[in-house]
Amino acid sequence: MFERLEKIIGDDNIKKLKNKTVAVIGLGGVGGYVLETLIRNSIENIIIVDKDTIEITNKNRQIIATDSNIDKYKVDAFEKRIKDINKNVNIIKLNIFLNEDNKKELFKYNIDYLIDACDTVSTKIMLIRECLNRNINFISSMGTANKIDPKKLTITDIKNTTYDPLAKVIRHELNKLNINDKVTVLSSNEECIKNKSLGSYSVVPNIAGILIADYIIKDIIKTED
């Protein structure tokens, strides 16, 4: 099924992608498109982590949010979707709200790449610390709410982020922990639209997810054996 991709990147790189294990934490607007893009580009070992069920309010931005999936657990709906795309994918589902207390459920597995697309600050900080300590390649998604210009999305070190309230909080927490390592993030340098509550224009989180997946794929295929 990957013949057309193989024509561009070659069989050796297809094998590299198939042999890597990627964890996606959070299966919302960003994480869902990360997962979709990885699966459609020959990643065959995947760990998915999310506790949430699919709600009708997810339909404007989340690829898995359809009427037939309302109230289903996201990990279950994505398992079915992944198998419909590629039956050879090995899937580990963790239907948990990941935190400091249960992180061993994730990190008992051998992870090559981790994508943090969750919303909880404490979990994001924990994932950054664990990945740095364990030498796991990772990228963390910052805020995409109240943004409307996908051209302002960028992958950069968290120290270089601007106009990103979530990144500002994460930077502050990392500074308190004296963490000065490079922390690769997906961020938007667009000034937030002023809103009393969070709004979402689906193009921004969806493209953010595709950019993250592209970053991971390109990093894998450039790595020497």
- Provide mean pLDDT across the span 63-89: 97
Residue 53 has pLDDT above 70, yes or no: yes
Residue 225 has pLDDT above 70, yes or no: no
- Residue 197's pLDDT is 83
Q: What is the CATH number of domain 3-222?
A: 3.40.50.720
Predicted TM-score (pTM) of this structure: 0.96
Residue 224 has pLDDT above 70, yes or no: no
- Rounded distance between C-alpha atoms, residue 43 and residue 115, angstroms: 14
- Provide mean pLDDT across the span 191-199: 87
Within 8 A by CB and 6+ apart from 185, the residues are 139, 140, 141, 142, 155, 156, 157, 158, 161, 167, 170
| pLDDT grade for 130, boundaries at 50, 70 and 90 | very high
- Provide mean pLDDT across the span 49-65: 96
- Rounded distance between C-alpha atoms, residue 1 and residue 98, angstroms: 34
- Residue 34's pLDDT is 98
> Average pLDDT, whole number, for the chain?
96
- SS3 for 105? helix
- Residue 181's pLDDT is 95
Sign of the dihedral through C-alpha 24, 28, 31, 36: positive
Percentage of residues in the chain with pLDDT exceeding 70? 99
